Amino acid sequence: MSGKLQAGLSNSGYKREEYNEDPSSKELNAYVQNLLKQMQDRFEDMSGNIVGRIDEMRKRIDDIEKSVSDLMNDLGVDDVDLHANARNVKI
């Protein structure tokens, strides 16, 4: 408790013990703190899972790009040819 609040309480004639939290407030505070901790833990778990999935997806995309590049090389197709053909394609 701050010094000003303590001084104000002592000057007002109230005893400090009268301003302690009642048990239901303490229980509510503990419940809310526990709930927030659980939510934070779940958020961290979910964030970790999302980052893991993004990394996995990035690796898959890299593998696909490499496979496509290998196939293009096997067929003798250059990136320049693909870009030229893509401009000529009409939808």
Q: What CA–CA distance (Å, rounded) separates 5 from 3?
A: 5
Domain borders along the chain are 23-88
Token pair belonging to 91: 């939808």
- Report the half-sphere exposure of 78 (CA within 13 A, side-chain side): 3
Angle ∠(24,26,31) on CA atoms, nearest 5: 95
Which single residue is written with the structure tokens 């302690």? 20
pLDDT, averaged per 10 consecutive residues of the chain (91 residues), comes to 48 51 86 97 97 98 96 83 64 61
- The structure's pTM equals 0.51
Cβ-based neighbour number of residue 72 at 10 Å:
14
pLDDT at residue 14, as a whole number:
47
Token pair belonging to 5: 């609040």
